[in-house]
Structures are given as structure tokens and as C-alpha cells.
């Protein structure tokens, strides 16, 4: 197997890990004003992701760095053509991170409400825009012969990409509700479980439209199998949430996100950014990659350090595995 293919697969794995872990972070932030009725309940919701949210974002940093090093042409075209939506995502993540740190710095309700709104907005914007971005990557954009984006910002807001944004929004919110039902106890556990049960049909409907449209447009057999498996996972999540089996529901929503990301990357291969102007203008794993020597050095670095990162993050989740309840939050 060529190293370009290996690194394409590794980048797919990094994005799948990011959507799996940061997805429920975004969901918790979106549900903060819905499930958190007072300050103690909102503190409870934030505490469920407090020890892990910043570690989850490492997957995004590594995915971006790996793309830059392994496929610099893809990185350059993507970040120049998608500059505005990616800038909005970056600002939203910064505001969200600052809000987590600053909301408790003053004992003032209005101060906390302002930062709570920042957490909500900083979770909502990326949850939508990541789907829009990946929708455009899979669908293709206007690239000229020099592999430069020649479209406009509004070209990125096409119907397929918008459905992609609604898909990530609903799936992340469902994933977050299931995580809260798994992580909390008492009334909040029941409330989050009921919210997950209400969100599951919407997730099935929106994701079904997006994945079915992708499968019909690209007609890739392996991608279709992965999309079918993702749909089965989402259906299993709906059943598990109804039965209040939080652990299985979380596994099912996580598997749905991972399988959907893998399906999109398999459908995309060997392109990394198709051109809707002419097929010859498309970026592929071959014309967008770094030199073989660079890929070889990166491979050895990944072999040594990736297991360490995964083990450390797994240990973090094990340490903070216990359920939380409002009664454990000081007044």
C-alpha cells in the first residue's frame, strides 16, 4: 500500500476520532440552555465535559497538522477556499474555551448567563459548519487548473452542504444527550434520556437523507456498506435510548459518527478535493501529497506517538468515569 493511501486513511481516522469525542462536547454545549434550568444544573452539565473537552480538541489539531504535512496542496486549497467558515469555526472554538474558564470567575448571574450563551454559540456554529465543510469536500468545489478555489462563499451554501450541516448538528446534539444520560444521575439523567429519545427520529431523518444522497451520487459499494452500517447504528441508538440503556446508546451514536466519516472518505478516495469545473482540476492523494521521504518520516513519528496519545486519553476517561449529580455541586 502506498504511503499516500496510508496517510489518507490516517487522516480519516483522526477526523472520525474528532467527531466521536468532540461531537458530544458540542452536543452538551448546545443542550446547556435546554437542560440546565438553573446555575447548579448548568454547572453540572459543564462538569461532565470539564476534564476532557480540551483533550478532545487535540484530534482536530493533529488532523490539521497531518493534512498540512502529508497533503500540503490539499491544506492550502482548503484553507484558502473555505477561509470564512473555517475562521468562524476557529473563533467559535476560542470563545467557547474562554467561556468555560471565565464563567465562574465572578459570582454574578448576568456574568454567567453571558458566558453560557457563548458556550451555546461556540458549540452550535462548529456543529453546523463542520457538516457544511465536509459536504462541500465530498460534493466538490470550483477549482481551476492551478487547484485554486474560484467560487464564492455562497457557493459553499448549496443544498447538499446545508443538509450536511443539519446532519452533524442533529447527530452531535443526539450524541451529547446520550452522553449526558450516561454521565449524570438523578433527574438530569432522566431528562437527558428523554431528550435523546426525542432527538433520535430527527437524527435518523436528516442523516438518512444526507447519506442516501451521497450514496446515490457516488455509487461506491464500500461507501454504501459503511453508510448502511451507520444507519443501523443510528437505529440501534434510537432503540437503546427508548429502553434507557445509556451505555449501548452511546456506543451506537459513536459508531454512527465513525462509520459515516469513514464512508465519506471512502467515497471521496482517491480524490481529496474534487473539482466541479473539470475532473482534471481535482486534487487527489497523488498530486496533493508531500514527498515520499516526508511521508516516511511522518509514518515513523505516528507509529511511536499515536498509541501514547490514545492511551493517555483513555486513561483520562477512565479516571473521570463516575456519574455526576446536582447534589454533588456546591450551592
Tell me if 322 is assigned to some domain: no
Tell me if 279 is assigned to some domain: yes
Residue 154: is its pLDDT beyond 90? no
**Confidence at residue 46, expressed as pLDDT on a 0 to 100 scale:** 93
d(CA 233, CA 237): 6
Tell me if 323 is assigned to some domain: no
CA end-to-end distance (rounded Å), the chain: 58
For the chain, what is the HEC assignment?
CCHHHHHHHHHHHHHHHHHHHHHHHHHHHHHHHHHCCCHHHHHHHHHHHCCCHHHHCHHHHHHHHHHHHHCHHHHHHHHHHCHHHHHHHHHHHHHHHHHHHHCCCCCCHHHHHHHHHHHHHHHHHHHHHHHHHHHHHHHCECECCCCCECCCCHHHCCHHHHHHHHHHHHHHHHHHHHHHHHHECCHHHHHHHHHHHHHHHHHHHHHHHHHHHHHHHHCCHHHHHHHHHHHHHHHHHHHHHHCCCHHHHHHHHHHHHHHHHHHHHHHHCCEEECECCCHHHCEECCCCCCCHHHHHHHHHHHHHHHHHHHHHHHHHHHHCCCCECHHHCCC
Task: Give percent above pLDDT 70 in the chain.
Answer: 100
CATH number at residue 195: 1.20.1630
Tell me if 308 is assigned to some domain: no
d(CA 192, CA 133): 29
pLDDT tens digits, one per residue of 276-289 = 888 888 999 988 88
Label residue 74 by pLDDT band (50, 70, 90).
Answer: very high
Tell me if 313 is assigned to some domain: no
Label residue 1 by pLDDT band (50, 70, 90).
Answer: low
**pTM, full prediction:** 0.94
Tell me if 135 is assigned to some domain: yes
pLDDT tens digits, one per residue of 107-119 = 888 999 999 999 9
Tell me if 267 is assigned to some domain: yes
The domain in which residue 84 lies consists of 12-292
8: nearest Cα among 60, 56, 69: 69
Report, as an integer, the average pLDDT of 224-244. 90
Chain mean pLDDT for the chain: 91
Residue 249: is its pLDDT beyond 90? yes
d(CA 223, CA 227): 6
pLDDT tens digits, one per residue of 127-137 = 999 999 999 99
**Confidence at residue 274, expressed as pLDDT on a 0 to 100 scale:** 93
Tell me if 312 is assigned to some domain: no
Residue 108: exposure state from Cβ atoms within 10 A (0-12, 13-18, ≥19): exposed
Report, as an integer, the average pLDDT of 248-261. 94
Label residue 106 by pLDDT band (50, 70, 90).
Answer: confident
- Number of domains comprising the chain: 1
User: Worst-scoring range by mean pLDDT, 36-40, 91-95, 174-178?
Assistant: 36-40
Amino acid at each position: 500500500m502506498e504511503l499516500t493511501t496510508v496517510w489518507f486513511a490516517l487522516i480519516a481516522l483522526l477526523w472520525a476520532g474528532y467527531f466521536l469525542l468532540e461531537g458530544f462536547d458540542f452536543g452538551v454545549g448546545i443542550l446547556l440552555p435546554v437542560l440546565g434550568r438553573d446555575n447548579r444544573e448548568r454547572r453540572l452539565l459543564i462538569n461532565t465535559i470539564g476534564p476532557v473537552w480540551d483533550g478532545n480538541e487535540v484530534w482536530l489539531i493533529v488532523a490539521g497538522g497531518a493534512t498540512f504535512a502529508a497533503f500540503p496542496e490539499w491544506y492550502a486549497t482548503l484553507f484558502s477556499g473555505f477561509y470564512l467558515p473555517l475562521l468562524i469555526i476557529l473563533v467559535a472554538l476560542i470563545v467557547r474555551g474562554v467561556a468555560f474558564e471565565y464563567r465562574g470567575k465572578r459570582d454574578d448571574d448576568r456574568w454567567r448567563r453571558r458566558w453560557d450563551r457563548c458556550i451555546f454559540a461556540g458549540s452550535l456554529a462548529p456543529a453546523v459548519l463542520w457538516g457544511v465543510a465536509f459536504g462541500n469536500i465530498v460534493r466538490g468545489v470550483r477549482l481551476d487548473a492551478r487547484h485554486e478555489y474560484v467560487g464564492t462563499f455562497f457557493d459553499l451554501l448549496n443544498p447538499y452542504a446545508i443538509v450536511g450541516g443539519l446532519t452533524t448538528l442533529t447527530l452531535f446534539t443526539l450524541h451529547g444527550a446520550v452522553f449526558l444520560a450516561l454521565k449524570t444521575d438523578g433527574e438530569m439523567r432522566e431528562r437527558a434520556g428523554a431528550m435523546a429519545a426525542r432527538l433520535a427520529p430527527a437524527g435518523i431523518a436528516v442523516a438518512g437523507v444526507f447519506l442516501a444522497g451521497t450514496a446515490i451520487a457516488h455509487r461506491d459499494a464500500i461507501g454504501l456498506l459503511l453508510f448502511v452500517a451507520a444507519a443501523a447504528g443510528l437505529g440501534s441508538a434510537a432503540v437503546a435510548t427508548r429502553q434507557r440503556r445509556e451505555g449501548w446508546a452511546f456506543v451506537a451514536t459513536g459508531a454512527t459518527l465513525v462509520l459515516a466519516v469513514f464512508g465519506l472518505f471512502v467515497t471521496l478516495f482517491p480524490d481529496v478535493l474534487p473539482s466541479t469545473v473539470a475532473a482534471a482540476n481535482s486534487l487527489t492523494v497523488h498530486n496533493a501529497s508531500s514527498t515520499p521521504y516526508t511521508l516516511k518520516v511522518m509514518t515513523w513519528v505516528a507509529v511511536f506517538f499515536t498509541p501514547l496519545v490514545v492511551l493517555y486519553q483513555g486513561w483520562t476517561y477512565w479516571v473521570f468515569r463516575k456519574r455526576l449529580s446536582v447534589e454533588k455541586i456546591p450551592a
